[in-house]
Amino acid sequence: MIERLREFFDRGCGYSETQEQLNDWIQESIKELDPKTTSYFDDCMITNYDGSELLGGLDNFVNIFWDKAIEGILNVVATEN
């Protein structure tokens, strides 16, 4: 079951369209932060505490975060079985 979930939540899964759904959630979240925002998330950058931009932008950050969150959640589910 864990492997099926891992495959389903993988951003490359064409069946679940995980990456497309994740992109939609990013857009919705940005609009909740600032309803006037119309730019796509590729234009958003994350800045470090010193004001420097982190490489990759918001979309890369969210993709890395998603992968780590799913792995962590599935690890918890696996230990509960």
Enumerate the β-bridge partners of residue 53. Answer: 47
pTM of the model: 0.72
Q: Which two structure tokens, joined as six digits, stand for 43?
A: 């234009």
Q: Tell me the mean pLDDT in the region 49-54.
A: 82
Radius of gyration in angstroms for the set of CA atoms belonging to the chain, rounded to a whole number: 15
At 65, the pLDDT band (50, 70, 90 cuts) reads very high
Separation between Cα atoms, residue 41 and residue 37, nearest integer Å: 10
Greater pLDDT, 57 or 28:
28
* DSSP-derived secondary structure for 13-79: -TTTTHHHHHHHHHHHHHHHH-TT--S-GGG---B-TTSPBPTTHHHHHHHHHHHHHHHHHHHHHHH
